[in-house]
Amino acid sequence: MKKISILFLCLFFTIGLIAQEAKGVIFEHGTFAEALAKAKKNKKGPNIIFMDCYTTWCGPCKQMANVIFPMEHVGKYFNANFVNVKIDMEKGEGIDLAKKYGIRAYPTFLILDSDGNEINRILGSADADSFIEKVKKALDPSTSPKAKRAAFDANKSTENAIAYLEVLKASYMNAEAAAFVVEIFPTLSPREKYSDKMWPFVSQILQNPDSEVFGLVMEEKMTADKIVSKEKVDAAICGGLKNYAGTFVTGRMANANNEKVLAKINYLTLLSGKDETASYFVKVAQLYAKNDIDAIAAMLKVQDMMKLSENDRNSAEKLITGVKGLPKEKVVEYLKAKQDYYKKMAEQTTAAIERYSK
């Protein structure tokens, strides 16, 4: 009798724990393929996959897993409408799934049909009710990147182009957005190219001076200046050329044609405006092309660097210390000199405080 009572109590607590777990979202414990198979077999539904694409280091992923998904009303919604699965994108089959679906930010939540085709995606964490609303909206296929692209193909209006770019941006599909801008840019009128809504996407493309769009903007820069503003256009081009120079001097530009690379970087001298670091990028690139590493190392002078603002100094230091082939001892020598400079400044400040405290 005693054994039966103990068995009954164990069974009672087990059922209680299962019931407690069932209050939140129930995630499948099998493979992705098994989740797809389950969705196909569910005659009465649910037939749609909800996949939590997470990583162990992602804070918002943990917030969703520990706070949002265990909620009873969240579980009620997701368990009724989806076959739920969560997969670490950096382990096991998650690595290939991340590549297949182009997962670039975390958390990403995929809504898939039973064949694994993407219906839509949601990025980032949210409170429970907001997240459910986002998922409901994502279930409408017309809001997906695929649908927005189809709408543009059917009617190549600027409005449809912007709508497609906006949904790509929201999905962190930056490579796809860049490719689309390159595709449509030559077909747009100047007013369309440089409109308030299109310019943010065009300015992103300008971060790659090898892009076809970069060359086209340079050809009609006066027009862009009038519509967008010279200050904004110069800033975007200047930023792109500085990134370009940084890629060049760190040795990440394979088979670079030094003459062609410098022809672009030298344009910084005409666009720099108030950017005091532009001259550093031009000079370092020119010296690197000549393989004059000693001359680059000589640019690490504390007295010169301290004349720059903190942001500009950090930018110049990062550029020079990152040059491929720069001896580490030169960097250490500079850092020690910088340390001595700050120590001296601290001593002078302390003396000044003591003097005025008397």
Return d(Cα 114, Cα 207) in angstroms, integer.
39
Burial pattern 123-144, b for ≥16 Cβ within 10 A else e, equals bebbebeebbebbeebbeeeeb
Burial pattern 93-105, b for ≥16 Cβ within 10 A else e, equals ebeebbeebebee
**Active-site residue numbers?**
58, 61
> How far is C-alpha 1 from the chain's CA centre?
64
The beta strands (E) that lie in the chain are given as 27-28, 49-54, 83-88, 108-112, 118-123
Q: Residue holding tokens 């992705």?
A: 32
Surface-to-core class of residue 170, CB atoms within 10 Å of its CB (0-12 exposed, 13-18 middle, 19+ buried): middle
What region, left, alpha or beta, does residue 112 occupy, with left being phi > 0 and alpha being psi -120 to 50 degrees? beta
Query: Hey, what amino acid is at 350?
Result: T
The Cα angle at residue 226 between residues 245 and 155, in degrees rounded to 5: 90
- For residue 253, what is the DSSP state? S
